[in-house]
């Protein structure tokens, strides 16, 4: 059988399930998830390699309306630039829900000349599969994709069928990355994202976007991975929230992050977290670049 490989951009508005779908497609937790929009801030390659193919899924920030801060402009650029250099696009929309941000994604998708598989996600929330049909008709009037594919990102039969469909569209080509690679990102980057995920999940209402994580020291001590990281917030009041009463919130976040990191690295982890104030970091291009947003 001829080997196939290709880049597959997974795009959509914020919080539509892109990272969850990619994690299910590659069979492991790599992209962080939460119920907050704009959890994904960076473009990440998630690599699934078998004997017959290599699919390089490109997880992108959600394309959203408005560039209120430098970080918002960065995320929109990261998402929109991705779709110009791939072999196929998986465009994720939510069943029964079409928003202005979905229309913004459509503007970007129309500008490229590659196959587009429009995946209608969260059909598991419908009472019957037939309920998705009127929505498919509405979307079909807006845009004619190469394929329409209703799915639930958590159902293995659906993700397996989507992989089979993608094989129709990726080219015959040697592997792009070494077969052992699961991502093009460093361990340190993935580790910092796991810490940020726990922050996003526990501080949903108080601190959605004004924080980021930087790894200060990352060293292997025998079989123990020692990690020292700083959580940057925008205001002193936010520092108090992250630390919590008697340090309990920071302790909870550290414990949960350590467990996720151990699962990813498959070794014991010592994790030390600090919280510092860096006023205006999310609207400062130099600060963003120094924190890896470039």
Domain of 266, CATH number, reads 3.30.300.20
Residue 236 and residue 130 in one domain: no
Other CB atoms closer than 10 Å to residue 152's CB: what's the count? 20
Picking from 45, 33, 24, the residue whose alpha carbon sits closest to that of residue 183 is: 45
Residue 159 and residue 193 in one domain: no
Q: Looking at the domain assignment, is residue 173 inside a domain?
A: no
- Domain extent for 210: 187-290
Residue 124 and residue 11 in one domain: yes
Q: What's the domain count of the chain?
A: 2
> What are phi and psi for residue 30, nearest 5 degrees?
-130, -50
The whole-number pLDDT of residue 78 equals 57
Residue 47 and residue 160 in one domain: yes
The whole-number pLDDT of residue 271 equals 96
Residue 84 and residue 212 in one domain: no
Q: Looking at the domain assignment, is residue 175 inside a domain?
A: no
**What SS3 class is residue 17?**
coil
Q: Which of 167, 201, 217 is the last residue of a domain?
A: 167
Domain of 152, CATH number, reads 3.40.50.300
Q: Looking at the domain assignment, is residue 179 inside a domain?
A: no
Spatial neighbors of 183 by CB under 8 A, at least 6 apart, are 30, 44, 45, 46, 47, 190
The whole-number pLDDT of residue 270 equals 96
**What SS3 class is residue 125?**
helix
Residue 162 and residue 206 in one domain: no
Q: Looking at the domain assignment, is residue 39 inside a domain?
A: yes
Residue 14 and residue 156 in one domain: yes
Spatial neighbors of 250 by CB under 8 A, at least 6 apart, are 242, 243, 244, 273, 275
Q: Looking at the domain assignment, is residue 36 inside a domain?
A: yes
The whole-number pLDDT of residue 15 equals 79
| pLDDT < 50 stretches in the chain | 64-65
Residue 70 and residue 141 in one domain: yes
Residue 122 and residue 231 in one domain: no
Picking from 33, 90, 79, the residue whose alpha carbon sits closest to that of residue 56 is: 90
Quote the CA–CA distance of 195 and 212 in Å, as a whole number.
9
Q: For residues 209 and 45, is the Cβ–Cβ distance under 8 A?
A: no
Q: Looking at the domain assignment, is residue 86 inside a domain?
A: yes
The whole-number pLDDT of residue 35 equals 54
- Point out which residues pair with 149 in neighbouring strands: 119
CA 204 vs. chain centroid, Å, equals 17
Residue 17 and residue 147 in one domain: yes
Q: Looking at the domain assignment, is residue 181 inside a domain?
A: no
Enter the tokens of residue 18.
């892109």
Residue 138 and residue 220 in one domain: no
Residue 138 and residue 217 in one domain: no
Q: Looking at the domain assignment, is residue 18 inside a domain?
A: yes
Q: How far is CA 269 from CA 189, 191, 254, in A?
A: 15, 11, 11
Picking from 233, 225, 230, the residue whose alpha carbon sits closest to that of residue 215 is: 230
């Amino acid at each position: 059988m001829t080997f196939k490989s290709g880049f597959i951009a997974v795009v959509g508005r914020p919080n539509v399930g892109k990272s969850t779908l990619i994690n299910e497609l590659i069979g492991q937790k790599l992209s962080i998830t939460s119920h907050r929009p704009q959890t994904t801030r960076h473009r990440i390659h998630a690599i699934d390699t078998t004997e017959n193919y290599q699919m390089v899924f490109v997880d992108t920030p959600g394309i959203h309306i408005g560039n209120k801060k430098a970080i918002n402009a960065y995320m929109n650029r990261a998402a929109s630039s991705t779709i110009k250099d791939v072999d196929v696009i998986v465009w994720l929309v939510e069943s029964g829900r079409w928003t202005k941000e979905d229309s913004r994604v459509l503007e970007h998708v129309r500008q490229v000349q590659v196959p587009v598989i429009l995946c209608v996600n969260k059909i598991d929330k419908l009472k019957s599969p037939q309920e998705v049909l009127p929505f498919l008709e509405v979307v079909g009037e807006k845009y004619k994709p190469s394929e329409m594919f209703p799915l639930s990102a958590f159902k293995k039969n659906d993700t397996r069928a989507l992989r089979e469909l993608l094989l129709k569209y990726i080219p015959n080509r040697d592997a792009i990355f070494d077969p052992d690679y699961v991502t093009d990102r460093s361990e340190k980057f993935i580790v910092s994202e796991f810490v940020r995920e726990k922050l996003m999940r526990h501080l949903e209402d108080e601190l959605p976007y004004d924080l980021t994580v930087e790894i200060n020291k990352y060293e292997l001590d025998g079989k123990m991975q020692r990690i020292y990281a700083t959580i940057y917030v925008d205001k002193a009041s936010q520092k108090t929230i992250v630390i919590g009463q008697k340090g309990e919130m920071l302790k909870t976040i550290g414990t949960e992050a350590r467990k996720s990191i151990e699962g990813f690295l498959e070794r014991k982890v010592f994790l030390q977290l600090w919280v510092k104030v860096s006023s205006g970091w999310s609207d400062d291009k130099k600060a963003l670049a120094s924190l890896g947003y470039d």
